[in-house]
Structure 1
Amino acid sequence: MQALLDAIASANFPTDAQRLFHGRGGLYPGCEAWTLDAFPPVWLVTKFGEASPEEVATLTTALQARQAQIAPPEKPLNAVLQTRVAGRSETTVLAGAVPERHVVTEDGARYLVNLTRGKNHGLFLDMTEGRRWVQAHAQGTKVLNLFAYTCSFSVAALRGGAKAVVNIDMAHPALATGQHNHQLNGITSGAQFLGHDLFSSWGKVTRLGPYDLVIADPPSHQKGSFVAAKDWPRLLRRLPDLLKPGGHALLCLNAPEIPEQFLHDHLAAQAPELVIEQRLPNPSAFADVSADRALKVLVARLPSLGEINHSP
C-alpha cells in the first residue's frame, strides 16, 4: 500500500468532491485494491477486500499526519474506511465524524451524500465529465434521465438550461435524494421523478417524449434491475423512438469485464440509425491501464431529418 501512503502524504484536500488515488486503475502495482476520495470535509478510503488491523493503523496515522500539515488545528481529521468483501460493504469511522447532513460540491453544484450506508454514496465521482458534458449541451433541451439514481445528471441538465427533465428509477429512496439535490441547487421546477421499472414503463416514457437527450447510466449488473448482456440490447432498440431527429444519447457502461466494442456492436444491431460521435474522457484521477476496463461513456446521435433526406 506504499503508493497509497505516498498519495496521502502529498495530497492537498480539495474543495470539491473528487478522487485522489485510484489504485483500481492498475497503475500502482500492489495497490489495486485501494482508492482514496475526498468528500469534504471527509477523507474516504476504500479497500476492495479485508483491511488488516495493521493497515487500518497505518492509514489512520498517515491521514492524521497529512491533516496536521495542511489544515489548521481547529479542523480535525475526519476519515472513513469502507471495505468491500463478497458484495458486502462495511464502513468504519477512523477519526472524527461524518456530517449528519453531508453536502458536497462539484463545479458549483451541491449534492447530498452518505458515506456510512451501502456501497454507493450518492455521487459517482468518475462521472464528473459526463455531468459537465450534459450541462454544456443542455440549453433548451428536453431530457430523459434513465436509471437516474440521485439525479445528478438532472441537476447538471437544469443548471445548463434544460427545459425539462424526466427522471426514472425504480429505487424510490434514491429519487427522494434526487429531489433534495434539486432543492439544494435552488431548482424548483422542470424535473419529474418517476419511481418505475423502466422495462415495464416504456409506454409512459415514450408518451412523455420525444427527447433531445436520453441519458442511460444503468448498473452494470443488478439482479432485478439491469443485467448488461440481456438488457442493453432491449434498451438500445428503443432509442430511435425516444429521440427527436438530431437528438443525442449518452450511454454509460461501467463494467470492467465488458469492452467498449459491446456498445458499438449492439448499437449497430439494435439502433443502426444512431451515429457514435465520441467517447468522453474520464477524469484524469481515474486513469487506467486499460481503456476497455475503465468507465466507458459514449455520445451517439440520431441524424436530423435533413441529414437523412440528403443521404446518398
Structure 2
Amino acid sequence: MSQALLNAIAHMTLSPDAQRVFHGRGGLHPGCEQWTLDLYPPVCLLTSYQPVSAEALAPIEAALHARWATLCPGEPLNLVFQHRDEVRAHTELRHGTVPEPHIVTEQGSRFKVHLLRGFNHGLFLDMAEGRRWVREHVAAHRTAASSSFKVLNLFAYTCAFSVAALQGGASQVINVDMASGALSIGRQNHQLNGLPDGATFLAHDIFNSWGKINRLGPYDLVIMDPPAYQKGSFVAEKDYTRLMRRLPDLLAPGGHALLCLNSPKLGPDFLMDQMAIEAPGLRWVERLPNPAAFADATPDRALKVLVYQAPLTAPPCA
C-alpha cells in the first residue's frame, strides 16, 4: 500500500530548504493517498490523513532510519508523525528531537516553524511559488515606479508573504489576521530576515475592519489567502465573494490582486466566476504554478493562486 512512499524515501535527498518529499494527496500514487512526507531540516514530518496502525507505520519508520543513516551518518533521525482529519490533528515526536526555536529556510528567507502543535506548522510549503512571485513582482514594479509600493496581506498568518514583499522592495506591508499569536511569529520572521521596518501587524477581524483597511490604502498589491473553511470565521463558498467585491476600492490603478484558495472541492472556476460578478473591472492575468513536488492528478483540486489586475486608470466617479 505504501510502496511509492517507501521508494520516495529511498531516493530522498537533503536540501537546505524546507521541502515536500512525497505528496500522496495528489493522487498520482494509487494506494498512498493518505500520506505526505515533508522535510523541515533537520526534522522529517510524516503525515497520515487516515488512521494508521503501528504495524503499517513500522516499515515507513525503518525506511526513514535507513535513509537518514546514509544521508547523515552518525546523526539520529528526527521524526514527527501527525494523524489528521478535517477536525483534529494528533501529533507526536516519534524519534529524536525538534529544535527550539526551529528555523527553516526557503529561497534565501528564514522562517520559524512549529511541528508539534496544531494543523499548521508556520509555513505552507505549497505556497513557495506564490512567495517567489510576490518577491519578483514587487521588485519588477518597484524598480519601474517612482512612488512607494504598498501591499495589503489579508489572512496574513505568520506573514511569509510580507517577508517576500519587503525583500522585493515594498515600502509598506499591512498584515491583517485575527490570530495575534500567528502575527507574533510573523514579527519574528521579519526580524529573522533583517526586516525591522515597513511591516504593520493588525490583529483584527477583517470583515469588521474595512474602514481602517481602506484608509491605509490604496494598495499596489492585495494578497488574499483565506482558509477554505474555518468554523465561525470563514467559509469560502459564501465569504470569498465578500472579499472580492472590496478589491476595486482597495487597489490602486493598475494594481494587482493575488487570490489564493486551497480547497479540493472548489476549482479555479469558482474564483473566476465569482470575480466576474463581484469585480468585473479586474482583468484575469494568470494562474501561478504550484511547486513540482505538489503535482496533482487533478490540478483543479490543488492549490489555486490567481493573479488579477485593476484598470490602469480609475473609473470616473458616479
The 3-state SS of whatever aligns with 1:49 is coil
Alignment of 1:116-155 (within 5 A): 116-139=116-139, 140=142, 141-155=149-163
2:26 counterpart of 1:18: no
Q: Which residue of 2 aligns with 1:114?
A: 114
2:210 counterpart of 1:202: yes
Alignment of 1:213-232 (within 5 A): 213-232=221-240
Q: 1:205 to 1:86 in 2, by over 3 A?
A: closer
Q: Which residue of 2 aligns with 1:77?
A: 77
Q: 2:84, 2:195 → 1: CA distance?
A: 35
Q: Which residue of 2 aligns with 1:288?
A: 296
The 3-state SS of whatever aligns with 2:241 is helix
Listed one character per residue, the Cα deviations across residues 104-159 of structure 1 (whole Å, up to 9, x for unaligned) are 00011000000000010000000000000000011332000000000000000001
Q: 2:56, 2:90 → 1: CA distance?
A: 15
Runs ≥4 residues deviating over 2 A: none
Q: 1:157, 1:43 → 2: CA distance?
A: 29
Q: Which residue of 2 aligns with 1:237?
A: 245
Q: 1:45, 1:10 → 2: CA distance?
A: 16
Identity of aligned residues (%): 61
Q: 1:35 to 1:180 in 2, by over 3 A?
A: same
Q: 2:170, 2:72 → 1: CA distance?
A: 39
**RMSD (CA atoms):** 1.2
Residue 86 of structure 1, CA deviation:
4.9
Is the Cα–Cα contact under 8 Å of residues 245 and 304 in structure 1 kept in the other structure? yes
The 3-state SS of whatever aligns with 1:80 is strand
Listed one character per residue, the Cα deviations across residues 64-108 of structure 1 (whole Å, up to 9, x for unaligned) are 0001111121x2211111101352111121211111210000011
Q: Which residue of 1 aligns with 2:9?
A: 8
Greater mean alpha carbon deviation, residues 14-23 or residues 134-143: 134-143
Q: Which residue of 2 aligns with 1:301?
A: 309
Residue 5 of structure 1, CA deviation:
0.7
2:195 counterpart of 1:187: yes
Alignment of 1:60-71 (within 5 A): 60-71=61-72
The 3-state SS of whatever aligns with 1:153 is helix
Greater mean alpha carbon deviation, residues 120-129 or residues 89-98: 89-98
Residue 58 of structure 1, CA deviation:
1.4
Q: 1:234, 1:92 → 2: CA distance?
A: 38
The 3-state SS of whatever aligns with 2:214 is helix
Name the amino acid aligned to 2:101. Answer: R
Q: 2:252, 2:186 → 1: CA distance?
A: 26
The 3-state SS of whatever aligns with 1:162 is coil
Q: 1:301, 1:226 → 2: CA distance?
A: 25
Gaps of 5+ in 1: none
TM-score, reference length from structure 2: 0.95
Greater mean alpha carbon deviation, residues 293-302 or residues 225-234: 225-234
Residue 9 of structure 1, CA deviation:
0.7
Q: 1:163, 1:57 → 2: CA distance?
A: 51
2:175 counterpart of 1:167: yes
Listed one character per residue, the Cα deviations across residues 8-66 of structure 1 (whole Å, up to 9, x for unaligned) are 01100211001111000000000000001010000111000112101222121110000
Greater mean alpha carbon deviation, residues 223-232 or residues 147-156: 223-232
Q: 2:233, 2:225 → 1: CA distance?
A: 12
Q: Which residue of 2 aligns with 1:57?
A: 58
Gaps of 5+ in 2: 143-148
Is the Cα–Cα contact under 8 Å of residues 60 and 95 in structure 1 kept in the other structure? no
TM-score, reference length from structure 1: 0.96
Q: Which residue of 2 aligns with 1:278?
A: 286
Greater mean alpha carbon deviation, residues 4-13 or residues 48-57: 48-57
Listed one character per residue, the Cα deviations across residues 155-200 of structure 1 (whole Å, up to 9, x for unaligned) are 0000111000000000010000000000111110000000000000
The 3-state SS of whatever aligns with 2:138 is coil
What is the aligned residue count? 307
